[in-house]
A and B are shown apart, each in its own frame.
Chain A
Amino acid sequence: MMNNSIEENVILEVENLNLAYDDYQVLENVSFTAKRGNCTVLMGGSGCGKSTLLKSMVGLLSPVSGKILVDTLDLWAVDQDQKTSILKKYGVLFQGGALWGSMNLIENVSLPLETYTELGESEINDLARYKLNLVGLSGYGDFYPAQLSGGMRKRAGLARAMALDPDILFLDEPSAGLDPINSNRLDNLINELKVSLGITFIVVTHELPSIFDIADDSIFLDGQTKTLLDHGLPSHLKENSEHERVRSFLRRGTPIIKN
């Protein structure tokens, strides 16, 4: 009974995933699950394959082998229509925001709504403005991405990622390049959305304060062995991980003094 209820809660499951760019193997045999309404952090040093794993989960990089199950559907085995319907449940924030440069912010947020909903123009406009307000960009609707700072672009990217009220939000280094205040605001927003809308978050980051603030679960990817080294609650891993590298990562490399 207990097991059943846990399985029902799983929204995303990665099974024995192998990822490579041409001949270059990036990750081997990665398996983990993400629970509905949780924030799962993918962490690890630079170049360990965090962003690559994210790319594969959002349907951009096909794995060499393995499965990515979203609500029990395999993202890389279903046909195009089913894949599109899985992608509709997704919201993705890219590292640089990746806003469409030829459109202003309102149009950026509106495009997914125009594509997938039957809403009228004014309703879409209202929704887009509401999403922009949510990330603290009220009044910037008519600005083009090139007119904004990096942090604002990132927040606008988050507003766009939330446009279709996704079930899962994938964030690639959301707080990198943000000042401490905005970075903290973003973390609070993530926690808020998780609780109020029940959104599942998959966040790639290596900002320690953020990790401890937002993560309900985490996986640690290791660049040397190219595998998933450990998983669990970061504050737990910090003290109790079997792997020195995980403990040291979560302590910024400071050695553990044992009495």
Chain B
Amino acid sequence: MNYEGNITNQPMQGESQSSYFGFVMEGENASCTLSGDWSIENNSGFEARKEWSLILGNYPAIQVIKFKLDSKIKWDSTLVSFLHKCRNDLTASGKSIDFHGLPAGLSKLLDLSKATLSEKKQNEFSLSLELIDETINYFRNATLSIFSFFGDWVLSVLRLFTGRSQTRFQDFANSCRACGASALPIVTLISFLTGLTMAFVGSVQLEKFNAKIYVADLVCLAMVREMGALMVAIIMAGRTGAAFAAEIGSMKLNEEIDSLRTFGISPMEFLIIPRTLSLLIMIPLLTIYADVVGILGGLVVGTMVMDFSVIHYFEQTQVALQSMWEVYSGLIKSVVFGLIIGLVGCYKGMHSGNDSASLGRAVTASVVVAVTIIVVVDAMFEVSFSYLDLR
């Protein structure tokens, strides 16, 4: 039986710019002759693929397709990937393909491209039960790991008091310097300007009531109760929390954390305890300092713009600070903020992935998460102080 094409006597031609394939049907068998220029520059594969799917759709009766190359054909990976696709399409629909007519080099390349493992499909977004399950699992694991991290931290602090800890005083002292003394310039600048700005803003309003001297009360109370602790916390989250995450994350990246573990040295005791404890101690000290500098900022406006005497301004400040509770409430907050910044920074560092992109994400997250928690906790403090009548 040797007749040409039961549909048409003319060879079908799929033609793109310069690549070209001729297609001849012989009953259930078909043969395909490839010719022309199949190269990446020509983008010839795209048109050919369109033709190919048309042919497949139009002639479902085909069982075997034999491929041949014209002698003058020019080809590169475009042709290989096209034939690879043809092979996949045909085998997927239970048909067979005959590559015996191809030159040896090409068939070798095609053999190499045969996938041995089924490729894992990634990033396929579908709202299914599986996705919900994964999300629940993710949150469950995240919660578990946060609690186990915090539990481990508490145990390590307790071990510090029993003297069985691997924490070194030297690391603690270094960390105190890095997150205490080294932060003084930036804390000075920010809190001075905060006090100054509040004095200016307050003076405009208070002038209307002829109560300008209460600027001293305003600046002083706002600084010690709220702004001192909050500004220091936000500076330290951006400065020290991010540094903790970056340091510990890059140590993880370099297997330095693993090498600590293989020596039986706990990263929690060796790296995290000195950092978090130093921050816990340094942040209240910085807050007291910021309170004072902020009040001085107010003083500058009070004396130089509003023409109060220094003594008058200080006397008014003293009156405002009748109860030390105002100062203590700020300090209590600052201790909690310090704990949050330290733990979030170290946690994010310890849980960053093993590539540089995830290290970047960990550092960003350490700042964002810490600042968010700080603002929320600050609000919670104010609400509970107010309900408990602590003022």
Contacts and interface: CB of A to CB of B under 8 A. Distances in A.
Nearest to B247: A102
Of listed A90, A94, A170, residue having the most chain B CB within 10 A:
A94
Nearest to B260: A100
B264 A98 contact: no
Interface in A156-213: 157, 160, 164, 170
B285 interface: no
B258 A60 contact: yes
Contacts of A92: 259, 262-263
B111 to A, nearest CB: 17
B254 A96 contact: yes
Interface stretch (A8-16, A81-89, A131-139, A231-239): A81-89
B263 A98 contact: no
A59 B258 CA distance: 9
Interface string A89-114: 01010111011111000000001101
Contact of B255 (A59, A84, A95, A170): A95
Contacts of B262: 58-60, 87, 90, 92, 170
A59 B266 CA distance: 13
A115 interface: yes
Interface residues on B, range: 10 to 19
Contact of A100 (B168, B259, B261): B259
A88 B265 CA distance: 10
A115 B265 contact: yes
Of listed B251, B254, B256, B264, residue having the most chain A CB within 10 A:
B264
B31 interface: no
Contact of A87 (B251, B256, B264): B264
Nearest to A157: B259
A186 to B, nearest CB: 19
A94 B264 contact: no
Contact of A98 (B168, B247, B259, B265): B259
A60 B250 CA distance: 18
A84 B264 contact: yes
Nearest to A89: B264
Contacts of B259: 92, 94, 98-100, 157, 160
Nearest to A61: B258
A101 B256 contact: yes
Given A98-B254, A98-B256, A101-B251, A115 B166 contact: yes
Contacts of A164: 263
A60 B251 contact: no
A59 B263 CA distance: 10
> Would you call the interface of chain B mostly helix, strand, loop, or mixed?
helix
Nearest to B174: A102
B171 to A, nearest CB: 9
A112 B263 contact: yes
Contacts, number: 55
Contacts of A96: 254-255
Contacts of A88: 263-264
B302 to A, nearest CB: 46
Interface residues of A, number: 28
A100 B262 CA distance: 13
Interface in B253-279: 254-256, 258-265
A94 B255 CA distance: 8
Of listed B166, B250, B256, residue having the most chain A CB within 10 A:
B256
Contact of B261 (A60, A95, A114): A60
Contacts of B258: 55, 60, 94, 98
B256 A83 contact: no
B246 to A, nearest CB: 12
B59 to A, nearest CB: 39
Interface in B121-155: none
A20 B41 CA distance: 44
Interface in A106-131: 111-112, 114-116
Contacts of A98: 254-256, 258-259
Contact of B263 (A83, A101, A115): A115
A249 to B, nearest CB: 18
Contacts of A157: 259
Contacts of B264: 83-85, 87-88, 116
Contacts of A83: 264
A160 B265 CA distance: 14
A115 to B, nearest CB: 6
Of listed A88, A95, A115, A116, residue having the most chain B CB within 10 A:
A115
Nearest to B254: A98
B119 to A, nearest CB: 15
Given A60-B262, A94-B258, 20 more contacts: A55-B258, A59-B262, A60-B261, A83-B264, A84-B264, A85-B264, A87-B263, A87-B264, A88-B264, A92-B262, A94-B255, A98-B258, A100-B251, A101-B251, A101-B256, A102-B247, A112-B263, A112-B265, A160-B259, A170-B262
Question: Shortest 3 CB-CB distances between A and B: which pairs?
Answer: A87-B264, A98-B255, A84-B264
